[in-house]
Amino acid sequence: MTLDPTRRLVLGAAAAIPALGTLAPRIVRARASDVVAVGDIRVRVVSDGTVTLPVSFTLPETDEADLDALFRENGAEPPREFVNQTNVTLIETGNRRILVDTGSGPTFQASAGRLEEALLEMGVDPQDVTDVIFTHGHADHLWGALDDFEDGPRFPNARHVMGEAEYAFWTDPATPQTAPDWLQGLALGAARVLDTLGDRVERAGDGAELAPGISYLATPGHSPGHMSVLVASGADQLVVGGDALTNVYVSFQRPEWPLGTDLDRNQAIATRLSLLDRLASDRIGLVGYHLPFPGIGYVERKGRAFIFASG
Ligand SMILES: [Zn+2]
């Protein structure tokens, strides 16, 4: 991965969006990173906005004092809530324009759903997206795949791909009843989006090559069939990690802490540890969906744990 030393945030012109329901109008700055080269493949990160989660929900088994100490060790104020970025990855290779995840769409949280305007500001028309690759079926990754009327695809010319175990979970009619309470609304939403996308959603397994140099890497636990996306060209590799690594301090420095957002907490911990080890050992770049924008960097070892070194 080669990072342009002059890399900077591209701040677009502020654009007002109309009020939706009870949401107040707000000024939006759509954002996109500069290009990162992975061999011959071009990677950019586009912001869909932010999604906010309570600390008690995210870290239900962690003492507040331990969380506060971790943040203070890093020179940061302990969080009163987690305001998570949503970093969508745009991969350009040959004549393909590939999106990894699609953001939240208009109905999840008022601070999210900015992807389409961010793409347009970069000069990328939704019609020109050739592939949509999902890491998993949670709202902030999937619901933006439908247009703002929620009756058709936002990226009408794209082939869509989801991990086969992930697709099976969200399309199982039993899932909305058997899922834990916090997941039930998300399950109904995922089923609705996948039903609307219909036949255009392909399924693929671990290791499947989705485009030249682009393949799925199974990273389960956060959700049953959660996939990362491995981008490889020449000697360079980068992993688009979805929600395998979500918090800039917790996921790297305390990867063994159970997360309330992981459906299988133990499997997610095992996935984090093996992914961190591989990213650090092989010097593979990382894009983290919820890391501070644009969420691009490397994993380095620190004692028995790791740190995230932003690019
Ligand atoms: Zn997420």
| Residue for token pair 């239900």 | 60
Separation between Cα atoms, residue 11 and residue 17, nearest integer Å: 17
Segment 210-229 mean pLDDT: 98
Q: Among 15-29, 32-46, 176-190, where is mean pLDDT lowest? A: 15-29
Distance 68 CA to ligand 1 centre (A): 23
Residue 95: strand, helix, or coil: coil
In 3D, which of 232, 211, 237, 11 has the Cα closest to residue 97? 211
Separation between Cα atoms, residue 46 and residue 43, nearest integer Å: 10
DSSP one-letter code for 304: T
Distance 27 CA to ligand 1 centre (A): 23
pLDDT of residue 93: 97
Distance 151 CA to ligand 1 centre (A): 23
In 3D, which of 97, 103, 148 has the Cα closest to residue 127? 97
Residue 57: strand, helix, or coil: helix
Segment 6-34 mean pLDDT: 45
At position 179, the amino acid (one-letter code) is: A
Distance 197 CA to ligand 1 centre (A): 20
Residue 2 clears pLDDT 70, i.e. is over it = no
Distance 137 CA to ligand 1 centre (A): 9
For residue 311, name the pLDDT band (cuts at 50, 70, 90). Answer: confident
For residue 115, name the pLDDT band (cuts at 50, 70, 90). Answer: very high
Distance 287 CA to ligand 1 centre (A): 13
Distance 298 CA to ligand 1 centre (A): 20
pLDDT of residue 1: 56
Distance 104 CA to ligand 1 centre (A): 9
Q: Are 203 and 161 in contact (CB under 8 A)?
A: yes
In 3D, which of 311, 221, 35, 203 has the Cα closest to residue 279? 311
Distance 261 CA to ligand 1 centre (A): 9
Which residues are bridge partners to 285 per DSSP?
Answer: 238
Digit-coded pLDDT (tens) for 159-211: 999 999 999 999 999 999 999 999 999 999 999 999 999 999 999 999 999 99
Segment 141-166 mean pLDDT: 97
Separation between Cα atoms, residue 168 and residue 150, nearest integer Å: 22
For residue 89, name the pLDDT band (cuts at 50, 70, 90). Answer: very high
Separation between Cα atoms, residue 254 and residue 268, nearest integer Å: 13
Domains and CATH numbers, the chain: 2-237 (3.60.15.10)
For residue 16, name the pLDDT band (cuts at 50, 70, 90). Answer: very low
Which residues are bridge partners to 132 per DSSP?
Answer: 99, 160
Distance 199 CA to ligand 1 centre (A): 24
Distance 272 CA to ligand 1 centre (A): 15
Residue 15 clears pLDDT 60, i.e. is over it = no
- Compare 22 and 99 and report the one with higher pLDDT: 99
Mean pLDDT taken over the chain: 91
Please give the share of the chain, as a percent, with pLDDT higher than 90: 87
Sequence-ordered list of residues with C-beta below 8 angstroms from that of 176, at least 6 positions apart, any chain: 184, 187, 188, 191
Distance 7 CA to ligand 1 centre (A): 25
Distance 290 CA to ligand 1 centre (A): 7
Residue 25 clears pLDDT 70, i.e. is over it = no
Please give the share of the chain, as a percent, with pLDDT higher than 70: 90
Residue 6 clears pLDDT 90, i.e. is over it = no
Distance 185 CA to ligand 1 centre (A): 15
Digit-coded pLDDT (tens) for 253-308: 999 999 999 999 999 999 999 999 999 999 999 999 999 999 999 999 999 899 99
